[in-house]
Amino acid sequence: MEKSKDKIIKISAKNSLPQLLLIFVLLGMALFLSLASPFFLTWENLRNILDHSSLYIILALGMTFVIASGGIDLSVGAVAALSGVCMAVAMKGGLGVGASILIGLAVGAATGTLNGAVISFLKINPFIVTLGFMSLWRGLSLIITGGIPIYGFPRGFTWWGSGHIGPLNPPILLAALLGLFAAILLNMSRFGYYTLALGGNEEALRRSGVSIHLYKNLVYMLCGVTAALGGLVVTARLNTAEPLAGWMLELDSIAAVVLGGTSMNGGRGSIAGTLIACLLLGTLRNGLVILSIPSYYQQLLIGLIILLAVIFAEVRSRKKISGSKPNSR
């Protein structure tokens, strides 16, 4: 019995290895940057990193559920723009701040559910479906605004981007609360169990009498809502609803999720990993700016990191499968 206990501890340690590794990389990077620049370890700068990371965290949390369920959502950046535009139009049309925000979130939920419906009911590959919707929502945002940004909102709205709550910003607190909620949801609720089961073995879940359609729709709906929250933060921060806001945001959030140890094949997801990975990417961007490295190199470096993370995760999981299951499949 003792022996098997040891084995289990080893297994769970192995499972959280990528997250531990990320923490080490993050700490190493912070140490290097604080030695390289006197500006890095100031509260202003740290808050800056948190502030920038919060947008990625909000989007990546929803994306974690989608990827853990074996899917992908390429439309989040476009949904962020569309929901921002809808909030702006609602406010310019005379609606209150609260009502406008709710409309934006509803738009996010609706687009997510649409993703989920096409993917689950019509059984079409999520990559293609969300790629199509990405272009569709971006086009719709451009049509609604005529390509011209909408700007100038009440203070109650811009507070969501640039207000202050003590030493922190609303986006940071929103990201933190959402992170806590997501961790509870993924690890402790039926919804979380079924999200992982969808990614692990959809057929088994179907055979146990759980509605696959319902839960797939809920997963994509959640992702749509987080995309809309991201749209709220972007729009409020810039005091502008841009039809081209959130450009490439899908790539950044997918990168963070994969870097955080959530499996692209589904079945495995880590909220803590996603949070750490977002902070890591945020710190990296910040460091490149502090060290005055041209922004072109940022793009290149982030692409490189994503590739390395995916290769590392994939090779690891392949080894694990061939090591533990010699006689099946």
Partner 1 sequence: MTTVSSPEKSSHHGEKKNPGPFPPKGLPFIRLQNIKKRFGPVIALDGIDLAIYPGEVTALVGDNGAGKSTLIKIISGVLKPDEGELSLNGKVYKHLTPSRAIELGISTVYQDLALVDCLDVASNIFLGREPLKAAFFVDKKRMNKESEELLRRLNVSIPSVTTPVEFLSGGQRQGVAVARSIKLQGRMLIFDEPTAAMGVSESAKVLELIRSLGDEGFAVLVISHNLHHVFAIADRICVLRNGRLIKNIRKEDTDLEEVVGFIVDSNQGRSKGTEAKTRQ
256 is written with which tokens? Answer: 């963070």
For residue 267, state whether it binds partner 1 (rule: CB under 8 A): yes
Among 90, 205, 256, 276, binds partner 1 (CB under 8 A): 205
Query: From the CB of 218, what's the least distance to partner 1, in Å?
Result: 14
Query: From the CB of 44, what's the least distance to partner 1, in Å?
Result: 40
CB atoms within 10 A of CB 89: 17
How far is the C-alpha of 228 from the C-alpha of 251, rounded, in Å? 16
Q: Which helix (H) or strand (E) holds 198?
A: helix 190-207
Cβ atoms of 83 and 107 closer than 8 Å: yes
Q: Which stretch binds partner 1 (CB under 8 A): 51-59, 208-216, 288-296, 306-314?
A: 208-216
* CA distance readout (Å), 98 to 58, 102, 171: 19, 6, 16
Task: Give the torsion through C-alpha atoms of 21, 22, 24, 29, to 10 deg.
Answer: 140
Cβ atoms of 70 and 219 closer than 8 Å: no
Query: Contact letters (x/-) for partner 1, 10-29, by CB under 8 A?
Result: -x------------------
How far is the C-alpha of 314 from the C-alpha of 298, rounded, in Å? 24
Q: Which stretch binds partner 1 (CB under 8 A): 16-24, 44-52, 112-120, 320-328?
A: 320-328
Among 204, 293, 307, 315, binds partner 1 (CB under 8 A): 204
Among 190, 213, 318, 319, binds partner 1 (CB under 8 A): 190
Query: From the CB of 165, what's the least distance to partner 1, in Å?
Result: 27
Among 52, 138, 268, 285, binds partner 1 (CB under 8 A): 268
How far is the C-alpha of 190 from the C-alpha of 200, rounded, in Å? 15
For residue 132, state whether it binds partner 1 (rule: CB under 8 A): no
Query: From the CB of 193, what's the least distance to partner 1, in Å?
Result: 6
Q: What is the end-to-end Cα distance of the chain in Å, rounded?
A: 29
The three-state secondary structure class of 289 is: helix
Query: From the CB of 103, what's the least distance to partner 1, in Å?
Result: 28
For residue 44, state whether it binds partner 1 (rule: CB under 8 A): no
Among 124, 180, 188, 307, binds partner 1 (CB under 8 A): 188
Q: Which stretch binds partner 1 (CB under 8 A): 41-49, 50-58, 71-79, 185-193?
A: 185-193
The residue among 292 and 324 lying less far from partner 1, judged by its C-beta, is: 324
For residue 122, state whether it binds partner 1 (rule: CB under 8 A): no
- How many CA atoms does the CB half-sphere of 61 hold within 13 Å? 28
How far is the C-alpha of 270 from the C-alpha of 16, rounded, in Å? 9
For residue 200, state whether it binds partner 1 (rule: CB under 8 A): yes
- CA 254 centroid distance within chain: 7
Q: Under the rule (CB under 8 A), what is the footprint of partner 1?
A: 4-5, 7-8, 11, 188-190, 193, 196-197, 199-201, 203-205, 207-210, 267-268, 321, 324-325, 327-329
